[in-house]
Structure 1
C-alpha cells in the first residue's frame, strides 16, 4: 500500500468538506418538499446530487446524499424513501461524469433515483411502512422529483462554471 502525498490528502479533505457543505445545503433545501403519498417530492435535493456527483465524484456524492437523507429524516423533513433514492442518483451522476466528461452527466441523476432507487424503495421500504403503492407508482413519484432537480442541477453547474473563483475549488474529480 502506497503512502498518500500531501496533495492527495488535500484533495480528499477538499472533497470531504464540500460533501459536508452539500449535505448541509441539501438538508436545508430539502425542507422545501411536497408530500406525495408516503414519499416527499424534493427536487432541490436532486439538484444537489447532480452538482455533487460532478464535483465530488460518485462516492463522496453518495455519502453526502446519505447524510442528507439521514438529517432530513431526523428533522422530520424527509421520509425513509430518501435513503435508497438519493445516493443512487448521486452515484450514477458521478460515474456518468467519469465516463462522459461532460456536465450533461448531471441529467443522468433520474436514472439512479428512478429505476434503481425507486425499485429498492418499493421492495424494501414499502412493506415496512405498509404502503399499498406499486413499483410504477414509486418510480413515477421519484422521477417527478429527480427530473426537474437534475435539469436545475445541470443549469446551476453551467452557470457556476462561468464564475472564475468557482473553478479553483470545484476542480474536476
Structure 2
C-alpha cells in the first residue's frame, strides 16, 4: 500500500470514528461508552498497523474534543488501545488478539493511567476503579464489533492491503 492510500484509509477511519461516536454511545457508569472508537481501533490495528491506529485514535480524540462530543479521557484510552490492538495483531497475526489488545489497553491500562491524567487535566481525583468499569464495558463492546467487522472484511477479501507476515 502506498502512502497516499494509507493516508486515505486513515482519514476514512478517523471520519467513521468521529461521526460514529456522535451517533452511537450509551451510558456506562462514570462515563459514556463509545463502541465505534474501539471498533475502529481494532480494525485499524489489524488492517493498517499500530502506528496508523494510534494516529487515528489521536486525531479522532482531538476532533471529538473540538466538536464537544468527547472528553480528555479519549486520548489515553483510544491511543493505548489502538497501539495494543495493532501490536498484538503484528505479533500473532490473529485478529482476535487485536480485540484482546484493545480491551487490555483501553479497558484496563488506560483507566490506571487516567487517574493522574484526570487529576491534573480535569481536576478530579477519582480512582482507577471509578473509570475501570466504564472503560471496560466500552472497549469490550467495541472490540467485539471491530473483530466481527474485520473478520468479515478479510473473509470477503474486501481488504487487499492487510498487513501480512
Q: CA RMSD in A?
A: 1.7
Question: Retained in 2: the 8 A contact 1:50–1:153?
Answer: yes
1:59 to 45, 51, 55: 51
1:87 to 79, 91, 96: 79
1:87/1:150 Cα in 2 relative to 1: closer, same or farther (>3 Å)?
same
- Quote the offset at 1:127 in angstroms: 4.0
Q: Which moved more, 1:136-145 or 1:12-21?
A: 12-21
Consecutive unaligned residues of structure 2, counting only runs of 5 or more, are none
1:89/1:149 Cα in 2 relative to 1: closer, same or farther (>3 Å)?
same
Structure 1 or 2, whichever has the larger Rg, is 1
- Quote the offset at 1:38 in angstroms: 5.9
2:5 to 7, 14, 36: 14
2:128 is the alignment partner of 1:128 = no
Query: For residue 142 of structure 2, what is the aligned residue in structure 1?
Result: 149
Counterpart-to-counterpart distance in 2, 1:116 and 1:97: 18
Displaced runs of 4 or more, over 4 A? 35-38
| Paired residues, number | 162
Question: Retained in 1: the 8 A contact 2:107–2:137?
Answer: no
Q: TM-score, normalised by structure 2?
A: 0.89
2:100 is the alignment partner of 1:110 = no
Q: How does 1:35-46 map to 2 (within 5 A)?
A: 35-36=27-28, 39-46=31-38
Consecutive unaligned residues of structure 1, counting only runs of 5 or more, are 1-9
